[in-house]
Amino acid sequence: MATYVESTISLAIQIVVLGLLISAVLLKNQKKYRNHGLAMLSAVVLHILSIIVVMVPSSAGFFGMPSSMNFADALVISVVVHIFTGILAAFLGVWLVSSWHLQKTLQTCFKKKRIMDATLVLWLLAIALGIILYLVIVGAF
């Protein structure tokens, strides 16, 4: 299980990621597509680092004894949904950013708009759940 400090650092990183996501959407709306792509690349890199350094070890500790877990418990369900949406958003984010790979032409990007929108929704859900779970775990709720 991650320590309070590690969890707080991970939360701070995810809030930065959230800011990058919002900035990226604003940049896209301003038709600044290259800057949008760079903001998304930064968000994906930070998100992956946070997953590897804090979230994987933390979830390994959380699910250390799966036979004793109550999968009908709201907290456990929330953690599972958080993990699933976060990992799916990370994989889709990596795929989208790597398929873009700083291209000058944007035609292939526009064809992936629905996947980008779905990834954004998954990512926002994962971050919102992560913030709520953090607050529950540290006793703020």
**Model confidence pTM above 0.75:** yes
Residues 39-51: what's their mean pLDDT?
Answer: 91
Residue 2 has pLDDT above 80, yes or no: no
> Is residue 51 included in any domain, yes or no?
yes
pLDDT of 62 reads 62
For residue 108, give Cα distances in angstroms to 19, 58, 73, 82, 114: 25, 37, 43, 30, 12
73: region left, alpha or beta (phi > 0 left; psi from -120 to 50 alpha): beta
> Is residue 127 included in any domain, yes or no?
yes
- How far is residue 78's CA from residue 67's CA, in Å, rounded to a whole number? 18
> Is residue 49 included in any domain, yes or no?
yes
pLDDT confidence band for 122 (50 / 70 / 90): very high
User: Is 54 or 131 the better-scoring residue by pLDDT?
Assistant: 131
Give residue 97's domain range. 4-60+72-137
Residue 139 has pLDDT above 80, yes or no: no
Mean pLDDT of the chain: 83
> Is residue 8 included in any domain, yes or no?
yes
> Is residue 65 included in any domain, yes or no?
no
CA dihedral 18, 19, 25, 28 (to 10 degrees): -140
Residues 36-45: what's their mean pLDDT?
Answer: 91
pLDDT confidence band for 136 (50 / 70 / 90): confident
> Is residue 82 included in any domain, yes or no?
yes
Number of domains making up the chain: 1
pLDDT of 44 reads 92
> Is residue 88 included in any domain, yes or no?
yes
> Is residue 93 included in any domain, yes or no?
yes
pLDDT in tens, 64-116: 655 566 667 787 888 889 989 999 999 999 998 888 765 666 666 667 788 88
